A and B are shown apart, each in its own frame.
Chain A
Amino acid sequence: MPTKPAGTLYRGREGMWSWVGHRITGVVIFFFLLVHVLDTSLVRVSPEAYTAVIGAYKNPLMALGETGLVAAIVFHAFNGLRIIAVDFWKKGAKYQRQMLWAVLALWLVTMVAFSIRHLSLALGGH
């Protein structure tokens, strides 16, 4: 009978899952960035083309999408700073796990504040 491999410091732990999260959020942000440069480039086509496309973004579904995008960006940003600390700070590798929990706590605080402000503006009508 094959047995489950013994646990390691890395596999299935904070180190691995933060790496997975960093990759996924990075790819999501990259594809958004391609689209975002294209839609902003419409200012060069005509004022009406830009305002029309941006106007199409202003609906409740997109407001949730924007919140999800910002959630990805904020995680990638804070976890990126954690990676820099792991690489350059003498005790970075020792405290990488604690730093991930700090990243998640800061992410939560930032996202609660962002969501309240952005969703009340975007869904609050005008």
Chain B
Amino acid sequence: MTATIESPRSGRIAPQYRRSGGSKGNFEMIAWLFMRLSGVVLVVLIFGHLFVNLMVGEGIHAIDFGFVAGKWADPFWQFWDLAMLWLAMLHGTNGVRTIINDYAEKTSTRRWLKTVLYAAAVVIILLGTLVIFTFDPCPVVNGVALPGGFCPA
């Protein structure tokens, strides 16, 4: 008589010990990986942002409407700032999501806090994206250029 011994874990596994096929899929692993990848890119984008805006020339004294207009006249800075906006907001929102999951013990509290968080993230990402791409360096109201604009002479 030969006894057949099943290889480990090949038999029935209680549902709570299964490693795949859960309802969440591999979302948490993707989120974990996103934090590392976006983190590296954000170090470059944000250090560049701080250096160009605060360290060069007159630094903070130079920042006014004309400074922003000058930067966003160039698609390079438009896409730099767009990438920074999206990556930083997604990175930050996922970080705060983790913190809510860690400290809010009641299911209803977690749900409420995360609803507010996601609503704020959507509003800020859409607002920022619209501002970058609908920006007008020379705003005109009723045929009159607004003071402080960056209008061609």
Question: Residues of A at under 8 Å CB distance from B?
Answer: 23, 26-27, 29-30, 33-34, 37-38, 40-41, 43-44, 46-48, 50-51, 54-55, 57-58, 63, 66, 70, 73, 77, 80-81, 83-84, 87-88, 114, 117-118, 121-122, 126
Contacts and interface: CB of A to CB of B under 8 A. Distances in A.
Chain B binding site: helix, strand, loop or mixed by DSSP?
helix
Given A33-B92, A77-B43, A81-B40, A51 B99 contact: no
Interface residues of B, number: 41
A118 B59 contact: yes
Majority-rule SS of A interface residues: helix
B139 A47 contact: yes
Interface of B: 36, 39-40, 42-43, 46-47, 50, 54-55, 58-61, 63-65, 68-69, 85, 88-89, 92-93, 95-96, 99, 120, 124, 127-128, 130-131, 134-135, 139, 146-150
The 6 closest A-B pairs by CB, nearest first: A47-B148, A121-B59, A30-B92, A47-B65, A80-B39, A51-B64
B68 A43 contact: yes
B46 A73 contact: yes
Contacts of B134: 44
Nearest to A29: B92
Contacts of B50: 70, 73, 114
A84 B39 contact: yes
A84 B40 contact: yes
Given A26-B92, A34-B120, A73-B50, A47 B60 contact: no
27 contacts: A26-B99, A27-B95, A33-B89, A34-B120, A37-B85, A38-B127, A43-B65, A43-B68, A43-B69, A43-B131, A44-B131, A47-B147, A47-B149, A48-B147, A57-B60, A66-B60, A77-B47, A80-B39, A81-B40, A84-B40, A114-B50, A117-B54, A117-B59, A118-B54, A121-B58, A122-B61, A126-B58
